[in-house]
Amino acid sequence: MSNSLHKTIIEQFAEAVSGHQINQLDSFLEVDVQKTTNSKIIYKNIQEAQDYYGKENSTQWKILEFIQDDPNGNTMQTRIIHGDKTYKTSYTFSSAGKIHRIDTIIEQ
């Protein structure tokens, strides 16, 4: 899968989360998607993701930059601002092209 397609999926996912379009998350996330922040599990499946993003405040997610560092092409890294924090985020994609894992680290 191309880097440009990964970028598009991440951008659309961020727009859906920012716009509270929770019913669209299954277009971007695998059923068994997992998100961690600083190694702590935030959610482990699409239902938990919908619950999590449904409770999020109205703060926008802004992508600062995309960083491609995976020669196999199934991982894309970004830097994102959400609220007053900046996150380094790694997205791992499934063979179907959906996001399978999201690993974030809060930058100091």
> With a cut of 50, which residues of the chain have pLDDT below it?
none
As a whole number of angstroms, the distance between CA 61 and CA 47 comes to 20
For domain 3-106, the question of CATH label 3.10.450.50 is answered with yes
Q: Where are the domains of the chain?
A: 3-106
Question: What's the CA dihedral at 31, 87, 23, 20 to 10 degrees?
Answer: 170
Pairing of strands 99-106, 85-93: antiparallel
